[in-house]
């Protein structure tokens, strides 16, 4: 089975790269050679999500700013199914709530329409998830012949390598002057409406810069953003 070769090659790639950046490049090359358009590796904890992917930067920013892990049907399925599974945005949309339908429409607009996901439990209330995504409609390929041992082994190795990768990228977060200023004002107790009044800006402009800062820091809430930015001496 072609996809089983992918996981064996992925296991070799994990052992054959010396840095997380090199591993990410190897993953991108490997998924492309097997006709997938994107990969995403996610570590989910009770209240925190760390991710490494080659999705478009705009989609990653939208996903983070919108806290889309709450409505992402792939994440929801991974928590429930706990084994490799195929998914299709089109199928998910048919049975979805309005929030999930909006998510599906946005994902499809970035060429994320179907894929294969392999979840692995990493602790109580925690799991890792490797997703290979395609811009094509799902071909309903069965996972019956999938080498689950090889797939889960690959996810386990990625978990070991990428578990701290997002924290490393956070240390390199390059906030703009407005993003840093607005986060500092939030940390000092101001509301976004107050910042808009003081700076003479539209509320949506302030919200735009705050959301960009959260996306760069890979966090979901303002308290997380201000705490991390303070810890990293960004504000």
Structure tokens at 165: 């990768």
Which of 122, 128, 141, 180 is CA-nearest to residue 34?
Answer: 141
**Do residues 77 and 71 lie in contact, with contact meaning Cβ atoms separated by under 8 Å?**
no
Can you tell me the distance from the alpha carbon of 43 to that of 144, in angstroms, rounded to the nearest whole number? Answer: 25
Q: Does the global pTM surpass 0.85?
A: no
pLDDT tens sequence for the chain (235 residues): 678 899 999 998 888 887 888 889 999 999 999 999 999 999 887 556 788 999 999 999 888 888 888 899 999 999 888 789 999 999 999 988 999 999 999 999 999 999 999 999 887 778 899 999 999 987 655 566 788 888 988 898 888 887 654 444 444 467 889 999 999 999 999 999 999 999 999 999 999 999 888 888 877 778 888 888 887 788 8
Can you tell me the distance from the alpha carbon of 31 to that of 38, in angstroms, rounded to the nearest whole number? Answer: 7
**Do residues 30 and 47 lie in contact, with contact meaning Cβ atoms separated by under 8 Å?**
no
Q: Mind listing the domains of the chain with CATH numbers?
A: 2-166 (3.30.450.80), 173-231 (1.10.10.10)
Can you tell me the distance from the alpha carbon of 210 to that of 206, in angstroms, rounded to the nearest whole number? Answer: 6
């Amino acid at each position: 089975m072609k996809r089983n070769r992918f996981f064996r090659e992925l296991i070799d790639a994990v052992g054959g790269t010396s840095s997380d950046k090199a591993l990410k490049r190897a993953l991108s090359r490997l998924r492309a050679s097997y006709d997938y358009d994107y990969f995403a590796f996610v570590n989910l904890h009770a209240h925190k999500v760390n991710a490494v992917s080659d999705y478009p930067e705009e989609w990653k920013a939208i996903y983070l700013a919108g806290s889309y892990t709450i409505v992402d049907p792939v994440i929801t399925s991974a928590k429930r199914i706990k084994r490799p599974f195929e998914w299709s945005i089109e199928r998910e949309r048919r049975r979805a709530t309005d929030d999930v339908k909006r998510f599906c429409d946005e994902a499809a607009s970035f060429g994320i329409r179907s894929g294969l996901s392999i979840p692995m439990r990493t602790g109580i209330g925690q799991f890792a998830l490797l997703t290979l995504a395609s811009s094509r409609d799902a071909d309903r390929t069965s996972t019956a012949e999938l080498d689950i041992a090889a797939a889960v082994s690959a996810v386990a190795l990625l978990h070991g390598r990428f578990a701290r990768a997002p924290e490393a990228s956070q240390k390199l977060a390059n906030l703009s002057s407005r993003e840093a200023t607005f986060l500092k004002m939030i940390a000092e107790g101001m509301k976004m409406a107050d910042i808009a009044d003081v700076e003479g800006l539209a509320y949506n402009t302030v919200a735009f810069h705050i959301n960009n800062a959260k996306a760069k820091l890979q966090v979901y809430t303002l308290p997380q953003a201000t705490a991390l930015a303070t810890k990293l001496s960004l504000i």
